[in-house]
Amino acid sequence: MERELCALADIPDGGTRGIRLQPGARYADLVLARRGAQVYAYRNSCPHTGAPMERESGDDDFLDYQGLHIQCGIHAAIFRFEDGFCLWGPCARRRLEAVAVRIDDGRVIALDVRPWLRD
């Protein structure tokens, strides 16, 4: 089941965006990270505890303080944009769960979101 997530322009280059798949959800279901025309998508679930990775400062703030990596807002684990690999933190050497996406006419499309819907 494909699903349009957002416009590519809605994700700042070098930035992140949280996506809620269900109306009224407290936390984002997915984290999108962008470098140029490439978008990487992951389930919003830290491999350490399974908790959502949002920071208190806002839904789209998944970056480390240098703005180079995805960072879990709970225990500060650091993940690469390109493959979700944990470089540092309590889940070192583990990966975020990737979500397959494609870009179509400036829109970010998830190929199948069913496995990432929260209960």
Q: CA 88, CA 70: separation in Å to the nearest integer? A: 11
Tell me the pLDDT tens digit for each residue of 41-74: 999 999 999 999 998 756 678 999 999 999 999 9
Whether 2 shows a pLDDT value over 80: the answer reads yes
The model carries a pTM of: 0.92
Q: According to the model, what pLDDT value does residue 113 have? A: 76
Domains of the chain: 3-116 (2.102.10.10)
